[in-house]
Chains A and B, each alone.
Chain A
Amino acid sequence: MRIGVTVFPGSNCDRDALYAVERLGAEPVELWHADPDLKGVDAVIVPGGFSYGDYLRPGAIARFARVMGPLERFAEEGGPVIGVCNGFQVLTEAHLLPGALLRNTSMRFVCDRVRVRVETNATPWTAALAPGDELTLPVAHNEGNFFADPETLARLEDEERVVLRYLENPNGSANDIAGVCNEGRNVVGVMPHPERVSDPALGSDEGLRLLRSVLVGAGV
Chain B
Amino acid sequence: MKVRVLVRPKAGILDPQGEAVRSALPALGFGGVQTVHVGRLIELELESADEVDAMCRRLLSNPTIEEYEWEVLS
Query: In their complex, do chains A and B touch, with some C-beta pair under 8 Å?
Result: yes
Assess the B59–A56 pair: CB atoms within 8 A: yes
Is A100 among interface residues, defined by CB-CB distance under 8 A?
Answer: yes
Could you tell me the distance between the alpha carbons of A105 and B18 in the complex, rounded to whole angstroms? 11
Is B28 among interface residues, defined by CB-CB distance under 8 A?
Answer: no
Q: Which residues in A have their C-beta under 8 angstroms from that of B40?
A: 56
Interface size on A (CB < 8 Å)? 20
Assess the B62–A105 pair: CB atoms within 8 A: no
Assess the A102–B59 pair: CB atoms within 8 A: no
Assess the A100–B65 pair: CB atoms within 8 A: yes
Per-residue B-contact encoding for A140-178, CB less than 8 Å = 1, 0 else: 000001011100000000000000000000001000000
Interface size on B (CB < 8 Å)? 11
Could you tell me the distance between the alpha carbons of A198 and B51 in the complex, rounded to whole angstroms? 46
Q: B residues bordering A, Cβ < 8 Å?
A: 13-14, 16-17, 20, 40, 59-60, 62, 64-65
Q: Which residues in A have their C-beta under 8 angstroms from that of B64?
A: 92, 99-100, 147-149
Assess the B14–A100 pair: CB atoms within 8 A: no
Per-residue B-contact encoding for A107-139, CB less than 8 Å = 1, 0 else: 100000000000000000000000000000000
Among B20, B59, B65, contact of A147 (Cβ-Cβ < 8 Å): B65
Assess the B16–A100 pair: CB atoms within 8 A: no
Could you tell me the distance between the alpha carbons of A132 and B11 in the complex, rounded to whole angstroms? 36
Q: Which residues in A have their C-beta under 8 angstroms from that of B17?
A: 103, 107
Nearest chain-A residue to B42 (Cβ)? A56
Could you tell me the distance between the alpha carbons of A187 and B60 in the complex, rounded to whole angstroms? 25
Assess the B16–A102 pair: CB atoms within 8 A: yes
Assess the A105–B16 pair: CB atoms within 8 A: yes
In the complex, how many angstroms separate the beta carbon of A108 from the nearest chain B beta carbon?
Answer: 10
Could you tell me the distance between the alpha carbons of A102 and B15 in the complex, rounded to whole angstroms? 8
